Structure 1
């Protein structure tokens, strides 16, 4: 955890989804859903592929990934060294089509290999489990604050949704209900919260948005939403490195932008934002364009009352823990057995608190 100022904290990961993948695989082994030597299968745009490969490497499993067209050479090499099988989609300028094709390919593989276990990172609540230890770490670091605001990319819902539930208590008698506001970050073009009608001319930020319904996004957990364009997220990423020496991915730039705004609106609250990965795979697409980055002082969100008012480069809306929009109802998780309210297995998160450069 990197403290950028007295009330702004960066929760930094090298590979965030390793937390969820390790706990999920361990849970599946413990419950007998899979055995060592089995093949675990899923689709990924990058971070989860590496996380699942690491988990399979640790627990003696085989790993099969249907990868996005955005998987770069570095990740391709890492997966190969870890022994994972990668099927990468053909180049495609439309990431919505890329996501759809990946899911179709997963179903084809399952038909060919019914013994494979589909991890269903977008639909199974088992991926919430690993974040309990992270929530405990946050609680220790910022305990006693008047209120906590958690900011992060929505994506499959596992990271922000799980952390909010655990931090709010989630029926755990050891931790009474806490004042935790959850702020979700979405790219334009994502249908999860109804922004599919507003395209971003640059790119939909893979990993924090979706062109298909995700079954484990609990819409009713979110208080506020920010939709942030590629250009605005780029400015956030560059400023975070320049101002605080934190080198992180594009979704982190978007989260940092939203977190600064929430911090200014409620100076009495502590704001924690998630940095899901490092900035290495964004060197050419983001950091090499640092001279194009807008000054953050020139950026502010457009406050909207509903999705019809959304507009680039940045919009903000109160969600007020409302249920999912029509057609995006949350599906039942599989293989977790009500895991979010139960005890997650595993050790504590071992990160070190320090103050970021200013």
Structure 2
């Protein structure tokens, strides 16, 4: 029996959608990393019960950290993006978390920069606070070992392709690392990362998406815990293509998930079509509720997946909307993405 709701929320479902196509569905994925990170900090004496944990978030991590703090008797302070919606703001308030919501900003890079600057101001005022550094600290990898063990038990670690949004690097990077520990050869577990256009992480900052940068899978500033050398293939997917993926996933398989999941599903279907002999597993990081208006209400606009295919490129200068694919071959980080260090 679970001792706290966070433990239940963090446990994913494995759903076979088709022969060789599996969905790893979370209610809120980052609860996995936040719970394990806070437990590790307590066990090592880095923090004590009652201390304040601080971080920046565009939404999902704020909820995850608030739950982890509630579970372990900690205080939680979040510097939030404008994307933190009313429902989440209410949940955070009732959970006892402090949320500082930044002023509206149409420039994601400026929004992220301002949030980091505010973190430093708070630390100067309260040096006793502990900054969780979800984008830079490898402790956020720890919680995914149990998830990797479950994937291995259910699917095996041979002939497995893992697909997911890169984001901070913790989920896809950690799962690939742990799954490869139990594999027999270097190609047993392939890692396919999904990125939005405009993200610096894998060098697409020169291509703008006229809609938005999909929250949670890319960044306009360097992230220190993305292990670029773990990734075999990259897909860059626009908002419109991800919308089509999200709508098709709900219509075809009744899975109601976020926009990043729609992008991952699109990439996973393509990878499965290229090599039907492999098992392709894609990550659904959250539910679709916060995308009800911005994505699902526009379901009649969604393109048919049969009309979508990636542009195959060999160099990032060739990237183009709405969807591009490139073999990364476990190469190191692009120069502009290597600024933070793991």
- The one of 72, 86, 108 aligned to 1:95: 108
The residue number in structure 1 matching 2:164 is 152
Distance change in 2, residues 1:29/1:176 (3 Å):
farther
Gaps spanning 5+ residues in structure 2: where?
1-13
Are 2:301 and 1:292 aligned?
yes
The residue number in structure 2 matching 1:341 is none
TM-score (norm 2): 0.94
SS of residue matched to 1:316: strand
1:99-156 per-position Cα deviation (integer Å, ceiling 9, x unaligned): 1111111111111110000000000000000000000010011027x50000000000
1:176-224 per-position Cα deviation (integer Å, ceiling 9, x unaligned): 5561000000000000000001010100011110011000000000000
Q: CA deviation at 1:97?
A: 1.4
Are 2:174 and 1:165 aligned?
no
Q: CA deviation at 1:265?
A: 0.2
Once residues 331 and 95 of structure 1 are traced to their aligned partners in structure 2, the CA distance between those partners, rounded to angstroms, is: 18
Q: CA deviation at 1:328?
A: 2.4
The residue number in structure 2 matching 1:63 is 76
- Report how many residues are paired: 328
Q: CA deviation at 1:81?
A: 1.1
Is 1:216–1:330's contact at 8 Å kept on the other side of the alignment?
no
Is 1:240–1:253's contact at 8 Å kept on the other side of the alignment?
yes
RMSD of aligned C-alpha atoms?
1.2
The residue number in structure 1 matching 2:42 is 29
Once residues 341 and 298 of structure 2 are traced to their aligned partners in structure 1, the CA distance between those partners, rounded to angstroms, is: 42
Is 2:200–2:336's contact at 8 Å kept on the other side of the alignment?
no
Are 2:54 and 1:45 aligned?
no
In terms of mean alpha carbon deviation, does 324-333 or 221-230 score higher? 324-333
| Bigger relative contact order (CA 8 A; separation at least 6) | 1
The residue number in structure 2 matching 1:246 is 255
Is 2:247–2:302's contact at 8 Å kept on the other side of the alignment?
yes
Q: CA deviation at 1:327?
A: 3.3
The residue number in structure 2 matching 1:187 is 196
The residue number in structure 2 matching 1:277 is 286
Q: CA deviation at 1:315?
A: 0.3
TM-score (norm 1): 0.90
Structure 1 stretches of at least 4 aligned residues deviating more than 3 Å after TM superposition: 174-178, 330-333
The residue number in structure 2 matching 1:352 is none
The residue number in structure 2 matching 1:236 is 245
Is 2:166–2:217's contact at 8 Å kept on the other side of the alignment?
yes
Once residues 38 and 135 of structure 1 are traced to their aligned partners in structure 2, the CA distance between those partners, rounded to angstroms, is: 31
Alignment of 1:1-358 (within 5 A): 1-143=14-156, 146-169=158-181, 179-329=188-338, 331-333=340-342
SS of residue matched to 1:193: coil
Once residues 290 and 340 of structure 2 are traced to their aligned partners in structure 1, the CA distance between those partners, rounded to angstroms, is: 32
